[in-house]
Amino acid sequence: MRYARWFSKRIGIGALLLGLAGCASTEPARFYTLSPLPGVQGSGAKPCLTLGLGPVTLPHYLDRPQIVTQTGSNEMKLADFDQWTEPVDRTFVRILGENLSALLCVEEVIEHPWKGSEQVDVQLTVNVARFHGMADGTAILQAQWTLSKDLDDKTVVKRQSKISVPIEGSGYGALVAAQSHALEKLSMEIAAEIRAISR
């Protein structure tokens, strides 16, 4: 009986030490954010516009800190140790606004919802369907977006964009860089249409 108690204590201590060792060897988390267009100067055309940005919606599968990749036709992978620094929908809206401000002559970007006293020249709404890494080594961004002009809320542009960008390198840093590039391309498509309707 005494040996059994001694053996049980040794087993308990061993399990505790293994648990502590497991905690000590846990991989540290890494955090990422999207980046805006580098060093682009907006158009100098006057007058500059006030851009209403939103609503911008992202799919619910992105409503989590983990970076998401698609590993099969019906399989998604969540990266437990590679995460966004802030909710990805907030990052997406912020970087989209920065990109458009760099590409266009924008006096102000007002995020939805804005006050009744605030007036916008062009309203951009975006509904993102897909925004993640793919098993084939690309980052995909698929979205439907519309542009409405002035106060009449009349939709003057409605587009579907499907953008695929090769992931240059390995690791989640390379994936996030490719996602930033995909958002740059979407920003350029939108900016071209805003220029066209603002002439």
| Beta-sheet strands, E only, within the chain | 30-32, 49-57, 66-72, 75-84, 106-111, 122-134, 138-149, 154-166
Inter-helix orientation angle 172-197/88-103, to 10°: 50
Span 162-188, mean pLDDT?
Answer: 97
Report the chain's C-alpha Rg in angstroms: 24
Give the burial string for 172-184 (b: 16+ CB within 10 Å, else e).
Answer: bebbbbbbbbbbb
pLDDT at 118: 81
Q: Judge contact between 66 and 30, C-beta under 8 A.
A: no
φ/ψ region of 145 (left if φ > 0, alpha if ψ in -120 to 50, else beta) reads beta
Domains contained in the chain, CATH given: 27-197 (3.40.50.10610)
| Spatial distance between the Cα atoms of 136 and 60, rounded to a whole number of angstroms | 23
**pLDDT 10s digits, 49-66:** 999 999 999 999 999 999
Q: What is the pTM of this model?
A: 0.83
φ/ψ of 16, rounded to 5, equals: -65, -45
pLDDT > 70 in the chain, percent: 81
Instruction: Look at residue 153 in the predicted model and tell me its pLDDT.
Output: 64
